Structure 1
């Protein structure tokens, strides 16, 4: 819950919206990404985004160089680990946090019939990409 409160506070600060200088994964089809706020402080980038994933949509396989916290606004997020197993199912109002680094490759999917909307806070070392695309780790689905 603390992560969700932090996320809402970060989103509502009114920080200038900008995406210059921030690298990110190319969203696959079915995903709309909007940057809500962005700032840097003491060598750390703080970026909030709203992700909307259409039914059947996916984030694609990736990892994050920094910490990630999110809260589900609408729909359901099904989260897969690199061993192809579901490591979490998140519904509206629930918070998610993701470990950082190459050892935590994962994918988020909307397996429901309505759009999935979530707010995400990325806390990353300054200048690092928020998301790094990776190949499918061998799962029988994309």
Structure 2
């Protein structure tokens, strides 16, 4: 499996792809944009490198992923809250984040700071899966 991941990362690093901008797929969201840096298919998985920006006061909206997501906070502080509404973690610049897959791992990312948050992410998802699934606010009162 490590060899598979290494091969995919090498492929992504070497790939020269057209970069696109898109709105982050999670609702309700605000002040969030994403740019796909590279995408590669290895076996039954898509490996997607993206840069995600959150304006001050912005959020990803409540969502979950079909595969793991790995992120590095390049700038700012990302505040993540889980669906229990109690588990909140602030991830400052330089932090590494691992988001496990599945609907039991609903979360939201918010920028509660005064400077934009910039994330570099790697999503490893089943071929044909969306990058995220939108879900309603689980009762936390924000999103």
The 2-side partners of 1:44 and 1:87 are apart by: 30
Count, aligned residues: 132
The structure carrying a bigger helix percent of its residues is 2
The 1-side partners of 2:26 and 2:80 are apart by: 18
Report what 1:130 is aligned to: 131
Structure 1 residues 50-98: Cα deviation after superposition (integer angstroms, max 9, x where no partner) = 0010000000000000010000000000000001124321111110000
Structure 1 residue runs without a partner (length 5+): 1-5
Query: Quick check: 1:77–1:109 contact (8 Å CA) kept in 2?
Result: yes
The 2-side partners of 1:13 and 1:71 are apart by: 20
- Does the C-alpha gap of structure 1 residues 83 and 47 become closer, same or farther in structure 2, counting only changes over 3 Å? same
The 2-side partners of 1:87 and 1:93 are apart by: 18
For normalisation by structure 1, the TM-score amounts to 0.84
- Does the C-alpha gap of structure 1 residues 136 and 62 become closer, same or farther in structure 2, counting only changes over 3 Å? same
The 1-side partners of 2:26 and 2:131 are apart by: 11
Shift of 1:13: 3.2
The structure carrying a bigger strand percent of its residues is 2
Query: Quick check: 2:15–2:38 contact (8 Å CA) kept in 1?
Result: yes
Structure 2 residue runs without a partner (length 5+): 1-5
The 1-side partners of 2:10 and 2:58 are apart by: 28
Report what 1:104 is aligned to: 105
Report what 2:49 is aligned to: 48
Q: Which region of structure 1 is more displaced relative to structure 2, 9-18 or 44-53? A: 9-18
For normalisation by structure 2, the TM-score amounts to 0.83
Query: Quick check: 2:68–2:99 contact (8 Å CA) kept in 1?
Result: yes
Shift of 1:29: 2.4
- Does the C-alpha gap of structure 1 residues 113 and 18 become closer, same or farther in structure 2, counting only changes over 3 Å? closer
